[in-house]
Amino acid sequence: MTRDDIKDLILDIIADIDEDAEFAGLDSDKPLRDQLDLDSMDFLDIVMELRKRHKLQIPEEEYPELATLNSCVNYLEPKLKDQ
Amino acid sequence: MSFTPLNQAKDKYDVIVIGSGLGGLTCANRLARAGHDVLLLEYHFKLGGLATWFKRKSHVFDVSLHGFPYGMVKTCKKYWTKEIRDSIVQLKDIVFDNPQFSLKTTFEKTNFSDILVKRFKIARSVVDTFFETVNSMNFYDDLAMTTRELFEQFFPGRTDVHRFLMEPITYANGSTFDEPAITYGIVFSNFMNKGVYTFKGGTDKLIGMMGDELQRNGVTICTTAKVDRVITEKGKVTGVAVGERIIHAPCVVSNSGITNTIYNLAGRDAFPAEFLGRIDKVKVNNSSCQVYFGLRPGETIPDIGDLLFTSTAAEFSSEEMLKMDTRSRTFSVYYPKTRPDGKEDYTVVASMNGNYDDWAHLSAAEYAKAKEEMIERCFVDLERYIPAIREKCDWVEAATPRTFNRYTLHTKGTSFGTKFEGLDVSRNLFKALPGLFHVGSVGIIMSGWLGAINYGVIVANDADAYLRS
């Protein structure tokens, strides 16, 4: 997957979690938590959905890697390069 | 709702969930939606665990509906259905009445802060800093500070303020001043958001909707199916023994109590010695007593509030609240608005904390007498709010820690799971015995309706990771 594909994937998953999420004006370097009002349960949903869709196992201690859209992409790019 | 007879269940599933409290139900639903083949086994004939109700004459009594935090709105929408979310409504009148103060609050942050400032004369800056402190607490923070120390830091010597802050939480999860301050901070912040909510239609409607949703998602549900033990082979879970049957699954999620799960279902021998050391330190929380009042059809109750925290004890004391003759109790008042589609019904449920050991060894005659005395104490207190309540009632009944033990099988009838150390054991169970997971009230913070449902989601994620590894 390309970096843009991964971005779309994350936004797609968040849209599934919260249909009212507003992505216009989203800053890729700022925490998703603050901009989209996500809580720790929402991040758990993202982790579970990534596992379901792409067989990714993300250990709990690496959840902070999902903090911003760009950190998600940086973290997931090597894991999803062959998908 | 019709369930599957146990003899028609298959021989093998991806996951077996033992117990159908809100944590077990949610975990089952989440795993089914993630694509796993799930069997849910419940010992009772109804789903819901302690999220339960019972019928007497024309009344429906809700055992634990009382009121939950606003977070249930988002949680129910995400992990259940929009229909369930849409039935959540606010309870606006929360009443405190004790020798130190009598007041009414919505339990919303602005209203609650104003009361602290105006009624209790606390500086606004202190109130704001207190809220910031508790809001920022996380379960992995330092455990050294107790709730007592937290309160003394912000409100030294103010036993009235301590009572205002603590009493509802002690009823909600059995915690005391001596628990880690973070357990208080997390639970209090959950409630102190947008107030207290309830489920319009009652517990029966909620659990019915959850059962329907589980079946739509392909979960096989068997009730009156008591699991005797979890089967392990070569250090891993392989299934369960239930009645005459052995049913296989690589993953078992127990929504039985954590101590029941370890000691009765899996057995101590199934765990490594190091882990047993941690297990043996787990203390179960206290149990509860309740008295249920049903009003004769045609009788009414004036609007006296939805949830009343009452006490005639001079000051707050969690020890006093556990005594058989405690002078502290909540009254949950259910008006016809609780079940707008049902028959007009007024009920009141008095809830008290209680110790199993105080009730366990009474003879039949002593037990009956102790229940009568408890009912009388509740009547005396309730008469202050509803005059002539004795004449208005056509049903009164008491439940004790023995009742809670009988219906949930929980060790010592615990109604709030375990103290804080239980959380670590519960979450790491599958590392000690691969394939075995626990969901249910643990660690004070994973308690109550919202805590139980969210913990169901957390454990479903752990179980899903195991199943896909």
* Residues of chain A neighbouring B460 (CB-CB closer than 8 A): 48
Spatial separation of the C-alpha atoms in residues B225 and A22, rounded to whole Å: 46
**Percent of chain B predicted with pLDDT > 70:** 100
What pLDDT does residue B140 have? 77
Residues linked to residue B68 through DSSP beta bridges, in sequence order: B197
Compute chain B's Rg from CA coordinates: 22
pLDDT of residue A19 exceeding 90, the answer is no
The pTM (predicted TM-score) of the whole model is 0.96
Decide if A34 is inside a domain.
Answer: yes
Q: Model ipTM?
A: 0.94
Q: A with B: how many residue pairs have Cβ under 8 Å apart?
A: 28
Spatial separation of the C-alpha atoms in residues A67 and A64, rounded to whole Å: 5
Spatial separation of the C-alpha atoms in residues B449 and B64, rounded to whole Å: 9
Spatial separation of the C-alpha atoms in residues B367 and B116, rounded to whole Å: 42
Q: How many CA atoms lie within 13 A of B95 on its CB side?
A: 18
DSSP assignment letter at A16: H
Contacts of residue B372, defined as CB under 8 A and 6 or more positions apart, other chains included, come to: none
Which residue intervals of chain B bear CATH 3.50.50.60? 6-50+204-283+416-467
Check B78 against A51: CB less than 8 A apart.
no
Give the pLDDT mean for B82-92. 97
What pLDDT does residue B2 have? 86
* Residues of chain A neighbouring B458 (CB-CB closer than 8 A): 41, 44
Spatial separation of the C-alpha atoms in residues B240 and B264, rounded to whole Å: 12
CB B65 within 8 A of CB B198: yes
Range of the domain at A55: 3-18+30-76
Q: How many CA atoms lie within 13 A of B117 on its CB side?
A: 15
- Average pLDDT of the residues of chain A: 94
Decide if A24 is inside a domain.
Answer: no
Decide if A23 is inside a domain.
Answer: no
Which helix (H) or strand (E) segment is B247 a member of? strand B245-248
Give the pLDDT mean for B51-73. 96
Q: pLDDT, tens digit, for every residue of B206-245?
A: 999 999 999 999 999 999 999 999 999 999 999 999 999 9
Give φ, ψ of B42 to 5 degrees: -125, 135
- E-strand stretches of B85-178: 88-91, 94-98, 101-105
| Centroid of chain to Cα B103 | 26
What pLDDT does residue B144 have? 87
Decide if A81 is inside a domain.
Answer: no
What pLDDT does residue B142 have? 75
**Which conformational region is residue A57 in: left (phi greater than 0), alpha (psi within -120 to 50 degrees), or beta?**
beta
Q: Which two tokens stand for residue B334?
A: 């259910």
pLDDT grade for B3, boundaries at 50, 70 and 90: very high
Give the pLDDT mean for A25-29. 95
CATH label of the domain that carries residue A38: 1.10.1200.10
pLDDT grade for A49, boundaries at 50, 70 and 90: very high
- Average pLDDT of the residues of chain B: 96
- Measured from the Cβ of residue B358, the count of other Cβ atoms closer than 10 Å reads 16
Output the DSSP codes for A38-72: --HHHHHHHHHHHHHHH-----GGGGGGGSBHHHH
Q: pLDDT, tens digit, for every residue of B393-427?
A: 999 999 999 999 999 999 999 999 999 999 999 99
Whether the CB of A51 is below 8 Å from some CB of chain B: the reply is yes
Which helix (H) or strand (E) segment is B26 a member of? helix B22-33
* Residues of chain B neighbouring A44 (CB-CB closer than 8 A): 457-458, 461
Which chain B residue has the Cα nearest residue A58? B465
In which residue are the tokens 């699954």 written? B249
CB B464 within 8 A of CB B34: yes
CATH superfamily, region B6-50+204-283+416-467: FAD/NAD(P)-binding domain (3.50.50.60)
Q: Which two tokens stand for residue B360?
A: 């366990």
Decide if A55 is inside a domain.
Answer: yes
Whether the CB of B14 is below 8 Å from some CB of chain A: the reply is no
Check B34 against A48: CB less than 8 A apart.
yes
Contacts of residue B194, defined as CB under 8 A and 6 or more positions apart, other chains included, come to: B70, B90, B108, B109
Decide if A67 is inside a domain.
Answer: yes
pLDDT of residue B1 exceeding 80, the answer is no
CB A62 within 8 A of CB A75: yes
pLDDT of residue B344 exceeding 80, the answer is yes
CB B235 within 8 A of CB B434: yes
Query: Mind telling me how many Å the CA of A35 is from chain B's nearest CA?
Result: 17
Give φ, ψ of B258 to 5 degrees: -65, -40
Domain B55-90+284-408: which CATH number of 3.90.660, 3.30.70, 3.40.50, 3.30.2310: 3.90.660
pLDDT of residue B141 exceeding 80, the answer is no
Query: Mind telling me how many Å the CA of B189 is from chain A's nearest CA?
Result: 14
Check B468 against A41: CB less than 8 A apart.
no
- Number of domains present in the structure of chain A: 1
